[in-house]
């Protein structure tokens, strides 16, 4: 039986709570239902998600084979229970129906492949952002939560933490004005 390590990360981020790591490590991407993976992103005042930029990547290494795929995330209704500080906003995301089908096909292809033993899978998440006015405050915080099953709860994936710690000071300083070139 293959063993996989699953990590879900936002580009530029470095802190994932230990309890979330343990739960993510227990997931086998070959058995997980992609339709049930959901994310919730909390953004501080002065920042907004750019429409159409939410993506998830899957990188697998098993039996000497490497596969990479990118999937589109659709905005969904924000479920209850996500902590949103005053003035902040939150968005929820999940795979599009077409990409659920594509990810399931990749899972089946990998499962049918040769070999047993250890393997590795990495789930990555990217989301573009923009700023309103001067943008988020210097000490602004954001957070990312993940839910891995429809009947599960959202787990803290990143933060709440300062945006500069999560994304890097260059990324925060480089936010484009909302509406510019969208």
* Torsion sign, CA atoms 106, 111, 117, 123: positive
Q: Is the pLDDT of residue 10 over 80?
A: no
* Torsion sign, CA atoms 137, 129, 80, 30: negative
168 falls in which pLDDT band (50, 70, 90)? confident
78-123 per-position pLDDT tens digit: 988 899 999 999 999 999 999 999 999 988 887 777 665 566 777 7
Answer with the residue of higher pLDDT: 71 or 13: 71
Alpha-helical runs (H) found in 27-118: 97-112
Determine the pLDDT at residue 47: 93
Determine the pLDDT at residue 140: 92
Alpha-helical runs (H) found in the chain: 18-25, 97-112, 163-167, 169-173
User: Average pLDDT, stretch 147-153?
Assistant: 81
CA distance 130 to 72: 19
Answer with the residue of higher pLDDT: 140 or 21: 140
Determine the pLDDT at residue 101: 96
15-71 per-position pLDDT tens digit: 455 555 555 555 566 667 899 988 899 999 999 998 888 888 888 887 778 888 999
Determine the pLDDT at residue 124: 74
For residue 84, which of 130, 151, 143 has the smallest C-alpha distance?
Answer: 143
Q: Return left, alpha or beta for 150; rule: phi > 0 is left, psi -120 to 50 is alpha, else beta.
A: alpha
pTM above 0.75, yes or no: yes
The torsion angles phi and psi of 176, rounded to 5 degrees, stand at: -80, 155
Q: Is the pLDDT of residue 158 over 80?
A: no
Q: Is the pLDDT of residue 125 over 70?
A: yes
């Amino acid at each position: 039986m293959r063993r996989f390590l699953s990590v879900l990360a936002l580009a530029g981020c470095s802190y994932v709570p230990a309890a979330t790591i343990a739960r993510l490590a227990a997931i086998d991407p070959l058995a997980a239902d992609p339709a049930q993976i959901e994310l919730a992103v909390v953004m501080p005042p002065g920042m907004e998600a750019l429409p159409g930029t939410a993506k998830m990547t899957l990188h697998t290494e098993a039996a000497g084979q490497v596969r990479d795929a990118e999937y589109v995330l659709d905005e969904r209704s924000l479920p209850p229970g996500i902590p949103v500080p005053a003035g902040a906003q939150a968005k929820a995301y999940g795979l599009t129906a077409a990409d659920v089908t594509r990810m399931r096909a990749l899972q089946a292809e990998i499962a049918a492949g040769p070999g047993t033993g250890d393997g590795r899978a990495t789930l990555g998440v990217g989301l573009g952002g923009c700023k309103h006015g001067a943008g988020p405050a210097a000490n602004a915080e954001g957070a990312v939560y993940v839910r891995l099953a429809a009947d599960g709860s959202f787990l803290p994936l990143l933060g709440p933490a300062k945006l500069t710690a999560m994304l890097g000071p260059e990324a925060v300083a480089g936010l484009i004005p909302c509406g510019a070139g969208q």
